[in-house]
Amino acid sequence: MHTFSSLPSSHNSLSFSLSQMKLLVMEHPLRKKSILQKTPKMVLLLVLVLILFTLIPLYCPIPRPLFLWGSLSSSSPSSSNHNDIDGLPKVKLDETCDIFNGEWVRNPEAPYYTNTTCWAIHDHQNCMRYGRPDKDFMKWRWKPDGCELPIFNPAQFLELMRGKSMAFVGDSVGRNQMQSLICLLSRVKYPIDVSYTPDEKFKRWHYTDYNFTIATFWSPFLVRSKEADPNGPTLTGLFKLYLDEFDEDWTAQIDEFDYVIISAGHWFFRPSIYYEEGQVVGCNYCQVDNLTDLTKYYGYQKAFRTAFRAINGLKNFKGITILRTFAPAHFENGIWNQGGDCVRKRPFRSNETRLDGFNLELYMTQLKEFKVAQEEGSKRGLKFRLLDTTQAMLLRPDGHPSHYGHWPHENVTLYNDCVHWCLPGPIDSWNDFLLHMLKREGRIYGGNLHSSYRKLRIR
Ligand SMILES: *[C@@H]1O[C@H](CO)[C@@H](O)[C@H](O)[C@H]1NC(C)=O
Ligand SMILES: *[C@@H]1O[C@H](CO)[C@@H](O)[C@H](O)[C@H]1NC(C)=O
Ligand SMILES: *[C@@H]1O[C@H](CO)[C@@H](O)[C@H](O)[C@H]1NC(C)=O
Ligand SMILES: *[C@@H]1O[C@H](CO)[C@@H](O)[C@H](O)[C@H]1NC(C)=O
Ligand SMILES: *[C@@H]1O[C@H](CO)[C@@H](O)[C@H](O)[C@H]1NC(C)=O
């Protein structure tokens, strides 16, 4: 399925510490806040500072600030200040906290469901069923530096989503999150199946009491694709990716959704032939003599660009697009099909590993395209948000099924699965993040944020 190199090769010179980057960034909101409270002249200064910081990403190709500053004009640090000015309720300091930067800490209360209380767990992620002996991997929660991330509250989530709809677009890791969500919500309600098709790759669930709909759209490459050869050079299929063409299986259907959670990653490791304007332009690891290997990053970047272009081009779409960032796999001592496995039993602390190599490259590629899409979308009032799971999941080598995704005698392609996540397990925290984001959306992004932002600039 994937051509991963062995992990982790922790501290090479290309790697960097996300938390170091974050420190740099997180200082500013506080500093600005104190400046702001002094004099109106200082407000002018703040505007200049804001403009300066908005320009920084253009010259400074480091990933975290790119995102933070990229969303600055519409997100937490600046908007909390505006609220102060306009005499609106003061937003807690919490709102400036980067919830995606932190550590895993013990949580004896977890898990909040089991494979007997929730039927939505996909067989290959039902690790307890296949005899996983340890349970410790379920008993952690994400603790952001400088604030708390509340544990998922199913009643609150459903209340917030009343009359709304949410689509998951992507691959089986995206589905993994949706199934976690259904299981977390199952303490309050189960949905009914209202799928339009018997195809398991396109499911729709409805929470009748809340008129809330969840749907999944299978699109592992996000763009139009075809399997050219089920085997290919690595026996994982050879795919044709039409990098500039929409995958209408989802793009034609998401207009109506209030939230679109989009993700992609591991399929881009598979050999593929790239097409643009209907012509072959190169490939990724296809091992065809006369084709240039453009690398997976090329396809990944173009695919996100096209997917976001599709969303920004939808006339009736008014929803919020959430990019769920790449969740690293954790094969060690070999690649996925050469004995690599994930046998660790504890999370890493953030000082024990770093994002590097292809994980870093894919992550940065995503953030760049996210930024482009966010700017484009803002011209017509469309919002893009990051569900930035990369750092948290980098720290969870213990959360994958490994060989507990099937019976030992079963001959499956991905024998040691270090890509997906056991349910219950660390992927449940993605929905902690999601709920937190949705709440924040309602509190500080809603209402008159835009008018207050303009007011500030005029003064
Ligand atoms: C749930 O997990 C237990 C082990 O904890 C296993 O015996 C049982 O078969 C599993 N049930 C289902 C429905 O997967
Ligand atoms: C349910 O929500 C949808 C939007 O998701 C809306 O179009 C529809 O009118 C709602 N139905 C009821 C009965 O409120
Ligand atoms: C590559 O070579 C094959 C066989 O020689 C040929 O059929 C194909 O059209 C070539 N592809 C390109 C892109 O030149
Ligand atoms: C990481 O941080 C923890 C707690 O701050 C410390 O105890 C540990 O020694 C550090 N580990 C490394 C490898 O620096
Ligand atoms: C598993 O299946 C593959 C191909 O289907 C086959 O080549 C291989 O020998 C099988 N392995 C076992 C242990 O049965």
In SS3 terms, 262-281 reads as: ECCCHHHHCCEEEEECCEEE
Relative to beta strand 259-262, strand 272-276 is unpaired
pLDDT band at 327 (very low <50, low <70, confident <90, very high): very high
Residue nearest to atom 2 of ligand 2 (CA): 163
Q: In what order do the strands lie in the sheet with 279-284?
A: 223-229, 238-246, 272-276, 279-284
* Cα–Cα distance for residue pair 204/216, rounded to 1 Å: 7
* Cα–Cα distance for residue pair 400/326, rounded to 1 Å: 15
428 among known catalytic residues: no
* Cα–Cα distance for residue pair 196/216, rounded to 1 Å: 11
Nearest CA to 156 out of 446, 445, 440 is that of 440
- The domains located in the chain, with CATH, are 101-445 (3.40.50.1110)
Which entry of 28, 82, 406, 420 is annotated as an active-site residue? Answer: 420
Check if the beta carbon of residue 9 is closer than 8 Å to that of residue 361: no
pLDDT band at 360 (very low <50, low <70, confident <90, very high): very high
Ligand with minimal distance to 194 CA: 2
Tell whether ligand 3 has an atom less than 6 A from the beta carbon of residue 290. yes
| Confidence (pLDDT) at 94 | 55
Report pLDDT digits (tens) over 23-78. 332 333 333 333 334 444 444 444 333 433 433 333 333 334 333 332 322 333 33
Percentage of the chain beyond pLDDT 70 is: 76
* Cα–Cα distance for residue pair 211/3, rounded to 1 Å: 42
Tell whether ligand 3 has an atom less than 6 A from the beta carbon of residue 280. yes
362: helix, strand or coil: helix
pLDDT band at 337 (very low <50, low <70, confident <90, very high): confident
172 among known catalytic residues: yes
193 among known catalytic residues: no
Which are the contacts of 112, defined by CB distance < 8 A and separation ≥ 6? 151, 152, 184, 187, 424, 428
Which are the contacts of 250, defined by CB distance < 8 A and separation ≥ 6? 167, 169, 217, 219
Q: How far is CA 50 from the centre of its chain?
A: 27
CA distances from 2 to 89, 350, 403, 418 (A): 50, 26, 16, 11
Which entry of 71, 172, 225, 402 is annotated as an active-site residue? Answer: 172
- The mean predicted confidence, pLDDT, of the chain is 81
* Cα–Cα distance for residue pair 198/219, rounded to 1 Å: 17
Ligand with minimal distance to 255 CA: 2
Which two three-digit tokens encode residue 430?
């993605």
| Confidence (pLDDT) at 15 | 36
| Confidence (pLDDT) at 236 | 78
Q: Name residue 193's beta-bridge partners.
A: 205
Which are the contacts of 173, defined by CB distance < 8 A and separation ≥ 6? 263, 265, 266, 327, 419, 420, 421
Judge whether residue 356 has pLDDT over 70. yes
Q: Which atom of ligand 4 is nearest to the CA of 349?
A: 1
DSSP output for 203-231: -EEEEGGGTEEEEEEE-TTSEEEEEEESS
pLDDT band at 403 (very low <50, low <70, confident <90, very high): very high
49 alpha carbon to ligand 2 midpoint, in Å?
A: 44
| Confidence (pLDDT) at 391 | 98
Residue nearest to atom 5 of ligand 2 (CA): 164
Nearest CA to 277 out of 218, 224, 228 is that of 224
Say how many Å lie between the first and final Cα of the chain, rounded: 57
Check if the beta carbon of residue 221 is closer than 8 Å to that of residue 267: yes
Check if the beta carbon of residue 439 is closer than 8 Å to that of residue 95: no
In this structure, the chain runs to a length of 459
Nearest CA to 302 out of 251, 250, 369, 239 is that of 369
- For residue 239, give the H/E element and its range: strand 238-246
| Confidence (pLDDT) at 203 | 97
* Cα–Cα distance for residue pair 268/265, rounded to 1 Å: 6
| Confidence (pLDDT) at 255 | 96
Judge whether residue 171 has pLDDT over 80. yes
